[in-house]
Chain A
């Protein structure tokens, strides 16, 4: 990209500068550290110049926004057209409570919904299961049957809003319920917009809400790909997630690498199941984290796009440009937020918001200042949403596309992260792909090692977390935290009991037994699940039928 003569000139002058100016200053003032490193362990030089980027080929490595390899973004106008979708992840207690919060958020200018389910729902247990006691509605909304889903979206027009659901192992069931609610609102499936997370591999590796073993889980996922490509064409059938991998303790480079390796595994599985790559790849979406190391994060997002485009085109031979595009949601980094001096978190989230936006995200959740204390209160969610709005409307960073491109440092970091990520992907390929690497505990071990290394750095004060290991104050008790009333559990159980008595139990039984038989074959299960939810079979009942046939996953616990 640069003229040879000019580079030589720069090189000479940089050398002179190091020996002269820099050496002189260093002899009097040492730098803060001997080695500067990003969180991924990439050495950060004192100064970046065209020298570090001399191999960059602009058209090949960067290109134009909306064009291969999409390093600069997936749309031709990016935020000059419209901002990213501001989508706060929310849900707690009962469907009524959550419905109220959603309507509040939509009123406040939020542009998409994001549903958090409680743990029993995420693991396929009804609220009346023994194991669910104490957990009902605690960290998300409890959904047992279509009835709860109807309440959850009461007065929210499903043809107007886009809804993201963080649901994985039982994704098929919740998607079926969503389709059924839409039917009742008179909205046909082809009008529905949204995302299900549906990413089981990272559940095994980092998030923990698995139910079935890998093989039947992958089947359910490809069933959904196939069903949606025919019936719900605007639905993002999976959100391949690095977010949780990062929160479990990985570095930025590991986050991209492990996420893309998971992505490769899903594409492989779908192709193996006989689907045409361009038939489903355009509906794959991604989900990444935004931590505090602003420029490393921006570089990470750019790498992810570039790598995925290459993988889809070169490795899988996808022809449709939509299949090459990595579109992603971002959430700010919960684990960077502290219980100490929670107001400081607002500033961290602002930096992370900038990282996501400068990295070209398609949608964003900003965490609240009370992240490390409880589910967010209404007030703290508002501040978090306002943070996005301030970046969007006031900061000016949205007025041109990929504004950090061409920064000597950012471009160099982009290349460095790409190198690291590729090394990991090769290693995982050698282990037989992401599913095998997880089965062998490789990915979990890498994550746990990074997490422990980070913890030790913080405890040794080699890494400063403001307000936690430096600049501490006497903490005062925090008021106004959200508390989920424990009586929510009882109420939910009562509601479920009443429904189980009043519904057409003959129909439920028959739909469940048809599903059981279908599960034994290699039929696409989506239509059967849809039939079962329509007659108010509960999530737990449906998941139990599949447990019978598929068995349950035993985790590979790696320490």
Chain B
């Protein structure tokens, strides 16, 4: 009866307005049985972390196609840690050059999903890597 549902914050950091991918991901996660909260556009890392903490999400899934990922993603990880939420799975996706991925991973982004990723792959990754209650 008390089956735990995965809660995800799909977030759009920075000034980037590309939201097609974020919306696709949000709907796909919903259809996979997850509870999805969407941050809306133009969120600062502080706003994203506040929402993640208050909603007690298991996953923060950030979509960014404007090239500001190296600046914004690690900030979110850092602020989450400051709140004591280091067990939250932080994912990134969008147009992110392969060359940047190692840096992002070093900075706490668990995985990065680039164009052409089937949403099923994202769902599987989340199910396998989300924190256990």
* Residue ranges of A at the interface with B (Cβ–Cβ < 8 Å): 119-120, 123, 125, 131-135, 138-139, 207-209, 247-249, 335, 338-340, 372-375, 448, 451-452, 455, 459, 468-469, 477-478, 481, 483-484, 486, 555, 557, 559
C-alpha spacing A432/B119, complex, angstroms: 37
**Which A residue sits closest to B118, measured CB to CB?**
A459
* CB <8 Å contact, A139 and B116: no
* CB <8 Å contact, B15 and A133: no
* CB <8 Å contact, A452 and B23: yes
* CB <8 Å contact, A133 and B24: no
Beyond A372-B95, A557-B41, A559-B27, whether A247 also contacts B20 by CB under 8 A is: yes
Residues of B98-133 contacting chain A, CB below 8 A = 98, 114-116, 118-120
Q: Which residues of B contact A208 (CB under 8 A)?
A: 16-19, 41
* CB <8 Å contact, B95 and A374: yes
* CB <8 Å contact, B41 and A484: no
| Chain B nearest CB, measured from A474 CB (Å) | 14
Beyond A123-B15, A207-B17, A477-B98, whether A455 also contacts B66 by CB under 8 A is: no
Report the number of A-B residue pairs with Cβ-Cβ less than 8 Å.
90
Beyond A338-B116, A459-B120, whether A134 also contacts B14 by CB under 8 A is: yes
* CB <8 Å contact, B44 and A209: no
* CB <8 Å contact, B20 and A451: yes
| Chain A to chain B contacts (Cβ below 8 Å), 11 pairs | A119-B17, A123-B15, A134-B70, A248-B19, A339-B114, A373-B97, A374-B67, A374-B95, A452-B23, A484-B67, A486-B71
* CB <8 Å contact, A455 and B119: yes
Q: Which residues of A contact B18 (CB under 8 A)?
A: 208
Identify 13 new A-B residue pairs, CB closer than 8 A, beyond the known A123-B15, A134-B72, A248-B19: A119-B15, A131-B42, A134-B68, A134-B70, A335-B20, A372-B115, A374-B95, A448-B27, A451-B20, A452-B24, A459-B119, A459-B120, A557-B38
| Chain B nearest CB, measured from A464 CB (Å) | 13
Q: Which residues of A contact B38 (CB under 8 A)?
A: 557, 559
| Chain A nearest CB, measured from B2 CB (Å) | 27
Beyond A468-B116, A559-B26, whether A131 also contacts B20 by CB under 8 A is: no
Partner among A138, A372, A557 whose Cβ is within 8 Å of the Cβ of B66: A138
* CB <8 Å contact, B68 and A138: yes
Q: Which residues of A contact B118 (CB under 8 A)?
A: 459, 469
B 49-80 to A, binary, CB cutoff 8 A, 1 in contact else 0:
00000000000000000111011100000000
Q: Which residues of B contact A478 (CB under 8 A)?
A: 98
Q: Does B40 contact A (CB under 8 A)?
A: yes
C-alpha spacing A448/B27, complex, angstroms: 10
* CB <8 Å contact, A132 and B15: yes
* CB <8 Å contact, A139 and B98: no
* CB <8 Å contact, B97 and A481: yes
C-alpha spacing A192/B42, complex, angstroms: 35
| Chain B nearest CB, measured from A65 CB (Å) | 36
Partner among A249, A340, A477, A557 whose Cβ is within 8 Å of the Cβ of B20: A249
* CB <8 Å contact, B71 and A134: yes
* CB <8 Å contact, B17 and A209: yes
* CB <8 Å contact, A135 and B44: no
| Chain A nearest CB, measured from B1 CB (Å) | 28
Partner among B23, B116, B120 whose Cβ is within 8 Å of the Cβ of A451: B23
| Chain A nearest CB, measured from B6 CB (Å) | 17
C-alpha spacing A451/B16, complex, angstroms: 19
C-alpha spacing A459/B28, complex, angstroms: 11
B 7-38 to A, binary, CB cutoff 8 A, 1 in contact else 0:
00000001111111001101110000000001
C-alpha spacing A559/B29, complex, angstroms: 12
C-alpha spacing A556/B114, complex, angstroms: 27
C-alpha spacing A132/B84, complex, angstroms: 28
* CB <8 Å contact, A133 and B26: no
Across the A-B interface, give the 6 residue pairs with the lowest CB-CB distance, nearest first.
A208-B17, A134-B71, A119-B15, A134-B68, A138-B67, A339-B115
